[in-house]
């Protein structure tokens, strides 16, 4: 089972967009069984596939809807909070019950804003036991390894315990970035995290860095210069993915509620956004499934 984690602690660089694209690509194009996991209290990845609800207990927080398999007459005590299941339940010793989505081969373990924020705030001395280990335990469970081929974990714009635990559980990491100063700082930070984690990995369990993906790329002086300087940097050059995702309105359009088409993959074949997205997905897929 492959575990892909897009990470960059700078916000708005396309982590969620990439998570969505990959989840849709692997499940619909390659017919892989995909588990999407949302580790970001903002709940954006979850909202793509589920109708998330406002949490009355927290300001601006969201929580998952009632699970479709839950029934009020169900005596099964593994259901918490009136039939809602979120990935944050791993931090509370509870089982995870993924939600089906409109795509048959794609399930999601959604975020729960409040509970994820609690896990993110765990004391340093307890973080290894209470946070780091939990996602690994879930992903190594027989239930999960037998049910899914690919897991995609969307992360928050932070280098906190949740992002670190996702990276610790990953087989593959990818760093999306806008080619601008602040996000590039994030890229350097993520490269450092990757190196540290790689040093700690046992031999048979490497963390493969797929690379740095330039997103929202425009052929402006700023973007081309930034990309060129990354490619000239000997420490970075080998990690820059030789493709880009442009700044395209199509991405925003398919995100709108009730949008048709619902994904870039449903756009006409000649559409640039679709072509670019497919090229990036195929590149990533090849990296993941070669040398099997």
Name the residues that contact ligand ATP, by CB under 6 A. Answer: 11-17, 40, 42, 44, 157, 215-216, 245, 247-248, 251-252, 255
Residue placing its CB nearer to Mg ion in the complex, 16 or 285: 16
Q: Do the strands 2-6 and 172-177 form a parallel or antiparallel pair, or are they unpaired?
A: parallel
Contacting residue, 2, 10, 15, 168, with Mg ion by CB under 5 A:
15
Least CB distance to ligand ATP at residue 245 (A): 4
Contact assessment for residue 36 and residue 279, using Cβ atoms and an 8 Å cutoff? no
Residue placing its CB nearer to ligand ATP in the complex, 40 or 120: 40
Contacting residue, 16, 46, 134, 285, with Mg ion by CB under 5 A:
16
d(CA 13, CA 7): 9
**239 backbone dihedrals φ, ψ, rounded to 5°:** -105, -5
List the single partner that 247 binds among ligand ATP, Mg ion, none, CB under 5 to 8 Å by kind: ligand ATP
d(CA 209, CA 284): 11
Residue placing its CB nearer to Mg ion in the complex, 41 or 83: 41
CB atoms within 10 A of CB 250: 18
Residue placing its CB nearer to ligand ATP in the complex, 17 or 159: 17
d(CA 55, CA 43): 12
Least CB distance to Mg ion at residue 201 (A): 26
Residue placing its CB nearer to ligand ATP in the complex, 28 or 47: 47
Least CB distance to ligand ATP at residue 12 (A): 4
Least CB distance to ligand ATP at residue 36 (A): 13
CB atoms within 10 A of CB 141: 13
Least CB distance to Mg ion at residue 13 (A): 9
Contacts of residue 141, defined as CB under 8 A and 6 or more positions apart, other chains included, come to none
**Residue 274 interacts with Mg ion (CB under 5 A): yes or no:** no
Give the neighbor-by-neighbor strand order of the sheet with 150-154. 99-100, 106-109, 34-38, 150-154, 2-6, 172-177, 208-214
Q: Which parts of this chain interact with Mg ion (CB under 5 A)?
A: 15-16, 44
């Amino acid at each position: 089972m492959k575990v892909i984690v897009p990470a960059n602690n700078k916000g708005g660089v396309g982590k969620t967009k990439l998570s969505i694209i990959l989840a849709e690509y692997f499940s619909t194009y390659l017919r892989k069984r995909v588990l999407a996991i949302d580790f970001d209290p903002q709940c954006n990845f979850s909202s793509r596939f589920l109708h998330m609800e406002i949490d009355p207990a927290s300001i601006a927080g969201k929580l998952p809807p009632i699970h479709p398999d839950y029934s009020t007459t169900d005596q099964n005590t593994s259901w918490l909070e009136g039939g809602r299941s979120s990935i944050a339940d791993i931090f509370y010793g509870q089982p995870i019950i993924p939600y089906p989505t409109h795509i048959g081969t794609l399930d999601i373990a959604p975020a729960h804003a409040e509970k994820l924020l609690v896990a993110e705030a765990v004391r340093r001395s307890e973080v290894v036991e209470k946070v780091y280990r939990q996602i690994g335990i879930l992903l190594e469970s027989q239930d999960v390894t037998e049910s899914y081929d690919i897991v995609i974990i969307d992360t928050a714009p932070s280098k906190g315990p949740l992002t670190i635990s996702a990276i610790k559980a990953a087989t593959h990491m990818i760093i999306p970035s806008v080619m601008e100063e602040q996000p590039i700082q994030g890229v350097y930070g993520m490269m450092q995290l990757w190196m540290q984690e790689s040093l700690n990995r046992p031999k048979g369990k490497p963390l493969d860095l797929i690379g740095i993906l330039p997103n929202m790329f425009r052929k402006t002086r700023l973007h081309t210069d930034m990309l060129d300087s990354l490619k000239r940097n000997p420490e970075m050059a080998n990690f820059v993915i030789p493709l880009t995702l442009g700044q395209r309105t199509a991405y925003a359009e398919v995100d709108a509620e009730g949008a048709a088409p619902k994904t870039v993959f449903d756009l006409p074949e000649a559409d640039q956004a679709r072509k670019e997205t497919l090229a990036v997905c195929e590149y990533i897929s090849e990296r993941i499934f070669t040398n099997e």
